[in-house]
Amino acid sequence: MSSGLWKRRFGSDRGIVGKAVTLNGKSYTAVGVLPAGVEFPDPTTEMWIPISFTTKQLDQEERGNEYLSMIGRLKRGVTVVQAQADLDELTRHVLAQLP
């Protein structure tokens, strides 16, 4: 969740991680709070949830919709260069499997 939402709605509760949070009537587990100033993909976004796809969306004929942006957190001790190398390898693997 965004830092702003965490402060406004949850009173900056440091124990929020691991707790249930309801969004549009559905329960999710809070996994973290982004640092203040992070606006992804824009300033109005305050909560991010895991994405899932239908079987049809995963069908090879339906691929090609490159509309997703992602954000992640580097594991402690991992550099941006190392993470990029891992992502490059993953990309090569996926493209070999699904040209």
Report the predicted TM-score, pTM, of the whole model to 2 decimal places. Answer: 0.68
Q: Which two tokens stand for residue 61?
A: 């004929």
Q: pLDDT tens across 8-56, in order?
A: 999 999 999 999 999 899 999 999 999 999 998 889 999 998 887 788 7
Angle at 31 between CA 30 and CA 33, to 5 degrees: 90
> What's the pLDDT score for residue 99?
65
29: DSSP letter? E
Say which DSSP state 31 is in. -
For strand 20-23 and strand 26-29, is the pairing parallel, antiparallel, or unpaired?
antiparallel
The neighbouring-strand residues paired with 22 are: 27
- The mean predicted confidence, pLDDT, of the chain is 88
